[in-house]
Amino acid sequence: MPIFSIIKVDKNDVTIPCDILDVLGMQKGEYIIFKGSASGKEITIKPLVPTSTETAELKVLLKNVPGTNANVDAILGKFDINILFGTGGIVDDNIYSSVKLLDLSGCKHSLKEIKKEISGIPEVIDVFIEEV
Model pLDDT for residues 49-62, shown as the tens digit of each residue: 766 678 899 999 99
Other CB atoms within 10 A of residue 24 CB: 14
Predicted structure pTM score: 0.73
> What amino acid occupies position 69?
N
Nearest residue to 82 (alpha-carbon basis) of 61, 54, 60:
54
Judge contact between 58 and 119, C-beta under 8 A: no
* pLDDT at residue number 9: 85
The residue ranking higher by pLDDT, 16 or 50, is: 16
88 vs 69: CA distance, rounded Å: 9
pLDDT confidence of 117, banded at 50, 70, 90? very high
Please state the rounded mean pLDDT for residues 108-115: 96
Phi first, then psi, for residue 82 (nearest 5°) are -95, 140
Specify the pLDDT at position 50.
67
H-assigned helices in 5-125:
18-24, 68-78, 111-119
Cα separation, 94 vs 115, in Å, equals 22
Does residue 80 register a pLDDT over 90? yes
Return the pLDDT at 52. Answer: 65
Domains in the chain, ordered, with CATH? 1-50 (2.10.260), 55-131 (3.30.70.260)
